[in-house]
Amino acid sequence: MSGPYFLAIDGGGTNTRARLSDESGRILGEGLSGSSNLTLGTEITGPAIADAGDKALAAAGLPPEARARVHAGMGLSGANVPALAEGIRGFPFGYQSIALASDAVTACLGAHAGEDGGILILGTGSQGLALAGGKETAVGGWGFALSDEASGAILGRAAIRASILSIDALAPSSDLTRLIMARFHDDPSEAVLWSKTATPRDYGSFAPMVFRAARGDGVADHLIAGAVGSIVTMLDRLIHLGAPRIALMGGLAAPYRPFLPTRYDDVLVEPRGDALDGALTLARRPVQGIPVDV
């Protein structure tokens, strides 16, 4: 096997997935590594991306030197911030070419096979994107500190905050708040120390607890109602931007779906492909002579 090879990378707050294909589209190998959300810094995300790619090469039975024949398409959380995107472009991956976009762009390309449509990613982070009339417009996705409404990280943080408030008798307690505080041995000071080093992924680990408690736990239902309000706002914005159909994606897409208003039933569709399919489309652009800046 002499190449060229096409490496699709999907990187977010939870993990980094890699898929290596040949010129015909046949999958040769896959790899998995840690978080590659660009807000974590190039010194963390660069090695994570490289590790996933190397694992895909190894799974295909290719030596590390094969990197020089690889065209990589990367959909990365945080790549919509130019300074962060530029930082990762400078990492010494050793690939023949790199086409870089946000994970929302590659998810949208995969979900609608390049046709007009929109996506709303609901995972550790969150971001929407509309592809309409050849124009790509992002909605949100500015990171845990400033944005990412309804994401797992934001929902988990809200649940912890509600639990701390309940300990101080400033807000209602419930089975959910008691379960969360038990994780910190009912000691808010322990939660404070934990928060000093907690990542979005760490906060997001509490989100499944909220969904398990929903439909009966007052605090959980209140938290989900607030998150659904944010989702509705983003969906309406994507529709306004011209997205004729919208695919929900990410680990929290299925848990949120039953809580969404029925008026979206005719708009929400199942994705035709995933973010790795979109990243593969991106990886082929330099070979096809298509501009890669997205």
What is the tens place of the pLDDT at every residue in 9-19? 999 878 999 99
Query: Within a domain: residue 100?
Result: yes
Q: Which residues pair with 9 in a beta bridge?
A: 18, 74
Q: Are residues 10 and 90 in the same domain?
A: yes
Residue 288 has pLDDT above 80, yes or no: no
| pLDDT for the residue 142 | 87
Instruction: For residues 266-283, give the mean pLDDT.
Output: 94
Contacts of 151 (CB under 8 A, 6+ apart): 122, 123, 124, 125, 126, 144, 200, 204, 252
| pLDDT for the residue 102 | 87
Q: Residue 193 sits in a domain of what CATH number?
A: 3.30.420.40
Q: Are residues 230 and 180 in the same domain?
A: yes
Q: Which residues pair with 11 in a beta bridge?
A: 16, 76
DSSP 105-136: HHHHHHHTTTSSEEEEEESSSEEEEEEETTEE
| pLDDT for the residue 279 | 95
Q: Are 125 and 153 in contact (CB under 8 A)?
A: yes
| pLDDT for the residue 285 | 84
* More reliable by pLDDT, 294 or 242: 242
Distance of alpha carbon 118 from alpha carbon 97, whole angstroms? 27
Total domains in the fold of the chain: 2
Look up the domain containing 99 and give its range: 5-113+272-288
| pLDDT for the residue 74 | 97
Question: Does the predicted model carry a pTM greater than 0.95?
Answer: no
What is the tens place of the pLDDT at every residue in 120-152? 999 999 989 999 988 889 999 888 999 999 999
How many CB atoms sit inside 10 A of residue 287's CB?
14
Query: Within a domain: residue 68?
Result: yes
Contacts of 74 (CB under 8 A, 6+ apart): 9, 11, 49, 88, 98, 99, 100, 101, 106, 279, 282
Instruction: For residues 172-195, give the mean pLDDT.
Output: 98
Q: Are residues 157 and 257 in the same domain?
A: yes
| pLDDT for the residue 143 | 87
What is the tens place of the pLDDT at every residue in 54-68? 999 999 999 999 999
